[in-house]
Amino acid sequence: MPLTGTGAIAAAPTANGVRGVGAFNVIQLEHAQAIVAGAEAAGAPVILQISENAVRYHGALAPIAAATLTVARAAKVPVAVHLDHATSVELVHEAVELGLTSVMFDASALAYEDNVRATAEVVEHCHAAGVWVEAELGQVGGKDGVHAPGVRTDPAEAAAFVAATGVDALAVAVGTSHAMLTRDAALDFELIARLHEAVPVPLVLHGSSGVADRDLTAAVDAGMTKVNIATHLNQVFTTTVRQALADNARLVDTRRYLGPARTAVAAEVARLLGVLKAAPPLPAPATYHGSGFRGATKQGAVQAP
């Protein structure tokens, strides 16, 4: 299936009732493969995200973008590729040139007027190339060690920001924080509903790894469309690697522990897409037991390499 525009994936839920869109972060090739495999198992569209931090890790955007775009273009379900949390205008321009379908330009740390001006300039450039733009208002905590759980996005200001910048989606602060290792964030569902009523573009929930399943579903019900999840999948990946290495101290072939980790992430992506109502619900994720997974249904299982 051809690479799909992020806007087309994000717009589909509003036409077909309440439904969330899963957006999962890619750090290595195995992440991209796992996320697409999970989406295919669930029969749901998905967004692959490459953050500015991931670009910094790889030393450049082009290598990881090329790999991710290749995986996306070979998928059997609609897949978009998104630049996440870019603070650099130059990086945004590079993403457009490389063929990513959307960007998230994050100027939320700036004063409101400066955020509006910088974001509007990015929107003008991206829209000229047919690229969808997400921005942030009301800084979500947790990036680079900055935690601001009390910050909230004002609905009236959000509506004015969207009108002034022309953005296609808006990330809002409603109680989440990035990089949480526990799933106990307290979301403000009443605020989500007010934002949904006031803002004419899809809302984006960042820091969703810290949100329990039932609250992810409730957030979608209240008006969230795009739901970003990164740290939670990294926990699944790393836990599986640790278990594989603990089970076999002589293991040195990276495929023998990265492969099971990829399979575990794929199963969790498929399950989460059900939680977000992007796909039929799946049972709890399978548990890795060294030689394979137990507990996965035929629908949820993803074949190990």
C-alpha count within 13 angstroms, C-beta hemisphere, residue 278: 31
Residue type, 163: A
Helix, strand or coil for residue 225?
strand
Whose tokens are 């004419």? That residue is: 200
Contact 196, 223 (CB under 8 A): yes
Give the DSSP H/E element, type plus range, for residue 228. strand 224-229
How far is residue 233's CA from residue 295's CA, in Å, rounded to a whole number?
19
How far is residue 109's CA from residue 43's CA, in Å, rounded to a whole number?
37
C-alpha count within 13 angstroms, C-beta hemisphere, residue 51: 19
114 is catalytic: no
Catalytic residue ranges: 84
